[in-house]
């Protein structure tokens, strides 16, 4: 197994005056671990994933697998992706068995019998009856189709699996079963995985590492329990405050969501300085003396901050929240 590394990756559409959907992203998916990538719609999560598998053009930087640029890997690289919509990710005219067989690399399993046995094995791996191999996608439920899509990705013998919002199009009643399946398969095969979701509860359940993305950039990254229990970036705290749980939210953040209802910045014209300052509950719109957020980009100097947080005042706010929680507990 190998690390998947996004090395200062940018994806831009429309030339110089177009949209920079992903902007100088640096992120590592360590071998055998799950990195959960979270952020609101339009933050660039899916574009980053599509860049890794060659479906979005990389304007700058590199995506490396085992130190090799993925653009230099063979036609079927050891990197596979499961897409959000199980209804459109399978050819409706091909049987389930034919779709999975198509994804098996050439020369790996010579002979029809060997490929048929491999299809049966993969269907059993994703908890489907091998007899389903003769069925068309239209004869399956959404959850079953997503299991087939997972089996098809595994047929490519990947070292890294990218899962892009794979439960968001499913009924709530089957989301949990699919997540349990993904976690079981990942652990059983020792896969590296980039798991993309806007649902923080899902990210917490699956991930070893959490990366938070906003307006094309990673604004916080670190071990899952640390990031979700002690977030350093105001955007992460706002996401946690908005995530429902049995107690109301995943984190007691006090007034952290004070300005969260402000419209996001235009991605075609991102603001100068910190990109989150137009919505930030601890930024210059709320607190005086923080003009630095308007002038300097915190993404340029993250190495010394906890969780590589792209926030000039992350340490200050983390201490303030720790003190306020301690006071409320007493």
Least trusted range by pLDDT, from 143-152, 252-261, 286-295, 297-306: 252-261
At residue 86 the predicted structure's pLDDT band, cuts being 50, 70 and 90, is confident
Write out pLDDT tens, residues 170-195: 888 888 999 999 999 999 999 999 99
Indicate whether 88 pLDDT > 90. Answer: no
Asked whether 90 and 137 are in contact (CB, 8 A), the reply is yes
pLDDT of residue 173: 81
At residue 328 the predicted structure's pLDDT band, cuts being 50, 70 and 90, is very low
291-302: average pLDDT: 92
Give whole-number Cα distances, 189 to 13, 21, 30, in Å: 36, 32, 15
Look at residue 320 and give its three-state secondary structure. helix
271-277: average pLDDT: 94
248-261: average pLDDT: 52
Indicate whether 62 pLDDT > 60. Answer: yes
At residue 252 the predicted structure's pLDDT band, cuts being 50, 70 and 90, is low
How far apart CA 285 and CA 313 sit, in angstroms, is 14
Q: 257 Cβ partners below 8 Å, 6+ apart?
A: 237, 238, 241, 242, 281
Indicate whether 259 pLDDT > 70. Answer: no
Write out pLDDT tens, residues 188-228: 999 999 999 988 888 999 999 999 999 999 999 999 999 99
Ordered by where they begin, the domains of the chain are 1-78+158-229 (3.40.50.300), 93-156 (no CATH), 230-329 (no CATH)
Give whole-number Cα distances, 280 to 78, 155, 218, 328, in Å: 40, 44, 16, 23
Write out pLDDT tens, residues 227-248: 999 999 999 999 998 876 645 5
- Per-residue exposure over 214-253, b if at least 16 CB sit within 10 Å of its own CB, e if not: bbbbbbbbbebeebbebbbbbbbbbbbbebeeeeebbbeb
Displacement of CA 5 from its chain's centroid (Å):
14
pLDDT of residue 243: 75
- Pick from 21, 174, 185, 192: nearest CA to 86: 174
275-281: average pLDDT: 92
Q: Which has more confidence, 258 or 125?
A: 125
E strands in the chain: 4-13, 19-29, 34-38, 60-65, 68-69, 79-82, 160-164, 192-197, 209-214, 217-223
- Pick from 66, 82, 83: nearest CA to 31: 66
At residue 316 the predicted structure's pLDDT band, cuts being 50, 70 and 90, is low
pLDDT of residue 256: 46
Q: 219 Cβ partners below 8 Å, 6+ apart?
A: 212, 213, 233, 235, 236, 276, 299, 309, 310, 311
Indicate whether 261 pLDDT > 70. Answer: no
């Amino acid at each position: 197994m190998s690390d998947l590394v996004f090395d200062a990756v940018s994806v831009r559409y429309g030339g110089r005056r177009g949209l920079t959907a992903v902007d100088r992203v640096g992120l590592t998916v360590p071998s055998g671990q799950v990195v959960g990538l979270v952020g609101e719609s339009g933050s660039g999560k899916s574009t980053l994933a599509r860049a890794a598998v060659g479906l979005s053009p990389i304007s700058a930087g590199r995506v490396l697998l085992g130190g090799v640029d993925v653009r230099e890997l063979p036609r079927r690289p050891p990197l596979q992706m499961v897409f959000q919509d199980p209804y459109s990710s399978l050819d409706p005219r091909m049987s389930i068995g034919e779709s999975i067989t198509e994804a098996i690399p050439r020369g790996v399993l010579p002979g029809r019998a060997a490929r048929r046995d491999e299809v049966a094995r993969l269907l059993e791996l994703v908890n489907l009856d091998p007899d389903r191999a003769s069925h068309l996608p239209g004869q399956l439920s959404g959850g079953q189709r997503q299991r087939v899509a997972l089996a098809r990705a595994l047929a490519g013998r990947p070292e890294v699996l990218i899962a892009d919002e794979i439960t968001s199009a499913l009924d709530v009643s089957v989301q949990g079963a699919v997540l349990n399946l993904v976690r079981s398969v990942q652990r059983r095969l020792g896969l590296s995985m980039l798991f993309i979701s806007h649902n923080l509860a899902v990210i917490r359940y699956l991930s070893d590492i959490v990366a938070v993305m906003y307006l094309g950039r990673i604004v916080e990254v670190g071990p899952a329990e640390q990031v979700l229990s002690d977030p350093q970036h105001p955007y992460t705290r706002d996401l946690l405050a908005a995530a429902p749980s049995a107690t109301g939210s995943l984190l007691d953040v006090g007034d952290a969501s004070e300005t969260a209802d402000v419209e996001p910045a235009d991605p075609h014209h991102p603001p100068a300085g910190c990109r989150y300052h137009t919505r930030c509950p601890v930024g210059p719109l709320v607190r005086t003396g923080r003009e630095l957020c308007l002038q300097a980009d915190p993404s340029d100097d993250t190495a010394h901050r906890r969780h590589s947080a792209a926030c000039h005042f992350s340490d200050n706010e983390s201490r303030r929240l720790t003190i306020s929680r301690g006071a409320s507990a007493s």
